[in-house]
């Protein structure tokens, strides 16, 4: 269903961005945003007319800040700045991430601290509403003076250069603009700099990683609860008295969710394999996944602030008329929380893989070897667990922090950078791996539950099992395995793991 979203200064939230997922939205620039943009533009124009020396406006940019630019060449300098900064390489950003980049850029301009004209903000709004998206190569930013290269590709599209997607079809940007009745934009002083400065690409990528981490955490708890049942584990480890004594918020919340999944289980009432204590991959889910939840909550808090931030330079204070020169474009806050998300994704996958390994191990789970009858003739889930192990190991390697790295650029003017864009970009690959790891666990746990019949699990877990079995039959003998993984991924992606009880706990931390 279509909806309208008014873009107002400082009002964008993660909750709003979540609501936009999968919805057709018409964007409108609010009147208070227009007033703020006009006020900062007046201050800039007065400073230029007064002969002020303004970085990137009346001077060159970066190490060329000593070069003075004449009034008649200021707009041309902005055009050339955009063109020369558009040095991105690699595959394009996804349409969803690109839309977020554009929305975040509009939101930062709407704050009225960038000195741009209304025409620039209006053009970005018009492009979003027409589903006209720039082709933005994903690689080429160090996350310091803004995401210079990728944001410049947004800028070249405004100029009618480069390529764009119009309603999903790739074509030259000039043609796309013409088809929706827009002319190439002529940049005013400061506008090229306002386009390329900012953390919008790294932030959009990190937000994508955040939303994936949230959904995968919900899926991991559902799969983990089903593994407890299939493996004849005990819910005793999720007793709230245990977690109250730890006083960790995420841990207690995860234990709550696991208890709701297991409520009413017949297996808990009549466990076929009784152990004194379960392995950590079952017993310590609240402690480990709770720590993951706490990290995700911290990330949501930081990114919730960043998407309302103004990360341009120089900045303008219309109240005083001051021009403020600083470094808000430095993306270290985004890079560090992207690294936290990488740890969360890697840990979630590592623990899931261990639960799958537990289930296929006859000596540990008490189930048939590799979850299949006639082992030997059949190998069952043997290599499915190998695939999960390979993906978990790959995620561990990718979890190495990106934000700890720095490489000087721009003739040492930009001598300490954040690498936030890479730190955030790799989250998509990690989430893709994690989705497959969890799908394999779901398949293994569902098979284990079948092998426990006639015992019945909880109503909630039986419903999840039933949804999987609508597309994936039980494993009686070896067959082509990969389609089952794809089908299980689809079940988890459908939101089957996000029960009302889980939803009450898990998304609430990201509403900021």
Q: At what angle are helices 95-110 and 31-49 packed, to 10 degrees?
A: 70
Block residue for tokens 């297991």: 262
C-alpha 420: how far from its chain's center? 13
Kindly name the residue from 55, 165, 280, 416 that is annotated as catalytic. Answer: 55
H/E stretch holding 28 reads strand 25-29
SS3 (DSSP) at 133: strand
CA distances from 253 to 71, 122, 351 (A): 60, 44, 18
H/E stretch holding 7 reads strand 3-7
Distance CA 100, CA 92 (A): 14
SS3 (DSSP) at 50: coil
Phi, psi of 4, rounded to the nearest 5 degrees? -100, 140
Distance CA 48, CA 86 (A): 27
Distance CA 286, CA 256 (A): 9
Block residue for tokens 């993951």: 292
- Of 197, 168, 13, whose CA–CA distance to 100 is shortest? 13
Distance CA 381, CA 444 (A): 7
Annotation marks residue 55 as catalytic? yes
SS3 (DSSP) at 360: helix
Distance CA 193, CA 136 (A): 17
Positions annotated as catalytic residues are 55
């Amino acid at each position: 269903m279509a909806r309208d979203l008014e873009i107002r200064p400082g009002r964008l939230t993660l909750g709003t961005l979540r609501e936009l997922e999968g919805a057709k939205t018409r964007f409108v620039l609010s009147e208070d945003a227009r007033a703020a943009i006009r006020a900062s533009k007046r201050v800039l124009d007065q400073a230029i007319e007064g002969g002020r020396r303004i970085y990137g406006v009346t001077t060159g940019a970066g190490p060329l800040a000593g070069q003075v630019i004449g009034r008649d060449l200021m707009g041309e300098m902005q055009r050339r700045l955009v063109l020369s900064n558009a040095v991105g390489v690699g595959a394009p950003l996804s349409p969803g991430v690109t839309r977020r980049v554009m929305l975040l850029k509009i939101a930062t301009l709407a704050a009225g601290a960038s000195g741009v004209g209304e025409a620039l903000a209006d053009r970005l709004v018009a492009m979003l509403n027409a589903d006209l998206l720039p082709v933005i190569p994903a690689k080429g930013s160090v996350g310091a003076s803004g995401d210079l290269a990728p944001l410049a590709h947004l800028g070249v599209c405004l100029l009618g250069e480069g390529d764009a997607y119009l309603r999903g079809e790739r074509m030259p940007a000039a043609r796309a603009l013409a088809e929706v009745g827009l002319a190439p934009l002529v940049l005013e002083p400061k506008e090229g700099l306002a386009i390329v400065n900012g953390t919008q690409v790294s932030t959009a990528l990190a937000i994508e990683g955040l939303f994936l981490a949230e959904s995968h955490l919900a899926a991991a708890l559902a799969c983990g609860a089903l593994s407890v049942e299939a493996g004849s584990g005990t819910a005793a480890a999720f007793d709230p008295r245990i977690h109250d004594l730890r006083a960790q918020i995420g841990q207690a919340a995860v234990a709550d969710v696991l208890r709701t999944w297991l409520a009413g289980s017949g297996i808990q009432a009549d466990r076929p394999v009784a152990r004194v204590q379960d392995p950590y991959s079952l017993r310590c889910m609240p402690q480990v996944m709770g720590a993951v939840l706490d990290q995700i909550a911290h990330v949501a808090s930081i990114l919730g602030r960043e998407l309302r931030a103004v990360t341009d330079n120089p900045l303008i204070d219309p109240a005083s008329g001051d021009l403020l020169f600083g470094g808000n474009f430095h993306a270290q806050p985004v890079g560090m929380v992207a690294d936290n998300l990488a740890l969360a994704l890697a840990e979630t996958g590592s623990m899931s893989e261990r639960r799958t390994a537990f289930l296929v191990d006859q000596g540990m789970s008490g189930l048939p070897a590799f979850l299949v009858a006639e082992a030997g003739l059949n190998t069952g889930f043997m290599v499915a667990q190998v695939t999960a192990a390979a993906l978990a190991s790959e995620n561990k390697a990718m979890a190495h922090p990106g934000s700890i790295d720095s490489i000087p650029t721009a003739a040492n003017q930009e001598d300490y950078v954040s690498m936030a864009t890479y730190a955030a970009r790799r989250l998509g690959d990690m989430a893709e791996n994690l989705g497959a790891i969890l799908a394999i666990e779901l398949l293994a746990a569902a098979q284990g539950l079948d092998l426990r019949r006639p015992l019945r699990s909880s109503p909630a877990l039986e419903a999840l099992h039933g949804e999987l079995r609508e597309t994936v039959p039980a494993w009686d003998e070896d067959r082509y395995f990969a389609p089952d993984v794809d089908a299980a991924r689809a079940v988890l992606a459908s939101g089957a793991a996000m029960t009302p009880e889980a939803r009450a706990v898990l998304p609430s931390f990201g509403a900021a």
